[in-house]
Amino acid sequence: MTTTYFPFDSGAGANVKEEQWSQMARYWRNDGILPDNPGGAFTAPNDIQNKLQVVGDDSTLSVIVFTGSAWIQGHFFDTDSNIDKTLSSVTTSGNSRIDMVVLRLDWLENTISVEVIEGTEATNPTAPSLTKNFGSRWEIPLAQVAVPYGATTGLDCTIVDKRKPALSVDMVPVCEIGMAADQTVTSSTNYQKLNLDTVRYDNFDMADVDNKRVSIRMNGLYLVKLNTRMSSASVINTITLNDSPATSNFVARSEGVKESSLTWIGNLNDGQTIGAWVYNNSGSNVTWNVTNVYTPSLTVVRMGDKATS
C-alpha cells in the first residue's frame, strides 16, 4: 500500500514537486481569470471586466493583453504591465486567418506566458486547437482574433473575448432574468417563448435578454429554476435547452396548474442556451402574470464541474 501526503515543513511530505502541488491545487478552483477581491468570490461582472482582456493595437498589427491574474491547473499567473503580441499579415487576397491568444502553462520549461497560436489562412478559416496535455503543456483561451487580408493594425481585426472566470468549488449564482410586464399567450398549436427581457443579476455575462434566454459560457453542472404564474391552468410550461421547443430539449415541464416552480439539474456545455417556452391550445388567450409571488423568473446556478458517471 502506498500513501501520499503533503505539504509539510519536514518529513515525507516536505519534498513537494510541482506536479504534486498542481494536482492538489486543481481542487481549489477552475482555470480562468481571477477576481480582484482577495476572497476569490465573484460578486459582479466587472470583477474580471478588463483583466487579461485582449484588444487591438491602434498603430501596429498586434494585440494588447491588459494586466491581470489567472489560475491555470493549480498554478498562479499575474502581470502588472500590459503585454504586446505581434500578429502576422495575411498574404493572399481573399483569405483571412483566425488566431488564438492563450495563456500557456509549460511544465517542461517551467513557465506561464501569453502566446498567439496562429491559424491557417483560408477563405473560410477555422480557429486553431488548444493544447491540454497535463505534465507538458496546457493552454486556456483569452481571445479569438480574426485577421483579414490587408490588415495593418490590431483595430482592423475582429476580436472575440474567450476569457472565463476561475470559479471556486462552491456553488456560484450565475444569473436571473425575469419579465418587465405581463405577457399574453395566444391560443396556438405552437410553443411560444417566455418574454424574459429583464436582468435581475448577471455575474458572468450569460443573461441574453435580447434573445430572451441564458447563454452558457462555460462547461459545468448547473441548477436551473423557472417560476411562473398563469391566469389559467390550461397550459404547459417548460424549461427548454438550445432555443428549440422540441420534446428532446424539454428538461422540465408542468401541466394543468396556474403556479409552478420547475427545477432541473444537469450538465451544460459552453454555447448551449436555456429558455422557457409555453404551450397553450385551450382556445383562449392566457396571461403570464408579473405582479405576484410567482413573478416569472429563470434562475441559473453553477454547481461545479460537469458530473460524470
Residue with C-alpha cell 428538461? 251
The confidence score (pLDDT) of residue 160 equals: 94
Selected from 2.40.110.20, 3.40.50.300, 2.60.40.10, 2.60.120.40, the CATH number assigned to the domain covering 172-304 reads 2.60.120.40
In the predicted model, is pLDDT for residue 281 greater than 50?
yes
**Where in the chain are the domains?**
18-161, 172-304
pTM for this prediction:
0.65
Residues facing 145 on adjacent strands: 99, 159
Q: What is the pLDDT of residues 123-170, one digit of tens each?
A: 999 999 999 998 899 999 999 999 999 999 999 999 999 998 887 766
Give the residue with greater pLDDT, 4 vs 223: 223
Res. 113: pLDDT tops 50? yes
Cα separation, 224 vs 238, whole angstroms: 11
Task: Say if residue 7 is preceded by a cis peptide, omega within 30 of 0.
Answer: yes
Q: What angle do CA 251, 246, 234 make, to 5 degrees?
A: 75
* Domain boundaries 18-161, corresponding CATH code: 2.60.520
pLDDT in tens, 18-45: 888 888 887 788 899 987 665 555 555 4
Alpha carbon 135 to its chain centroid, in Å, reads 26
